[in-house]
Amino acid sequence: MNLYDVIPENLFSILVSPNKNLYVKALFVLLEAFKVQLQISKNELVSMLISSLEDELSITDFSNEKLFENDYSLSGKSHFIIRKLKTDGWIFIETESFVEYVTLPKYSIKVIQLLFDLTHFEDQENFAYVYSTYSSLKMANKDREIFE
């Protein structure tokens, strides 16, 4: 099977665009949102992007992007990011009872998680250290109970 039979051909285009850092941060906002909620409306995602990326949104240069005339506010830029993620295949928008919901395809979840893991490697090391310390203490406690 060909890779591009499974994922869209332009999926990785946001990772090489001039605003790649902003797009990756937006993907991480998506990942965190889906860890907390199973269903996210498009409007909720706009609010999450604004609250998490307000500073980056306000200073990012979108002159190379095809923004609409009313897309230069924080809300407009967040809507643009959502449209861009949808166009490139990172997300799907489904309508249910007149409300638009954002969903993530399986390949998207896996790629976003990989990118997150690559950039948050020290968090994983700390967790492994905490777990190994916990396991060692638990085993030491069991050994102590055996000898008492």
Please state whether 98 falls in left (phi above 0), alpha (psi between -120 and 50) or beta.
Answer: left
Write the pLDDT tens digit of every residue in 61-96: 888 887 777 778 899 899 999 999 999 999 999 999
136 or 86, which is more confident: 86
Average pLDDT of the segment spanning 20-27: 96
**How far apart (Å, rounded) are the C-alpha atoms in residues 41 and 26?**
15
pLDDT on residue 5: 87
Residue 92 bridge partners (DSSP): 103
pLDDT at position 126 over 90 = no
- 99-103, strands of its sheet edge to edge: 40-41, 99-103, 92-96
pLDDT at 1: 79
Residue count of the chain: 148
Residue with tokens 């998207």: 108
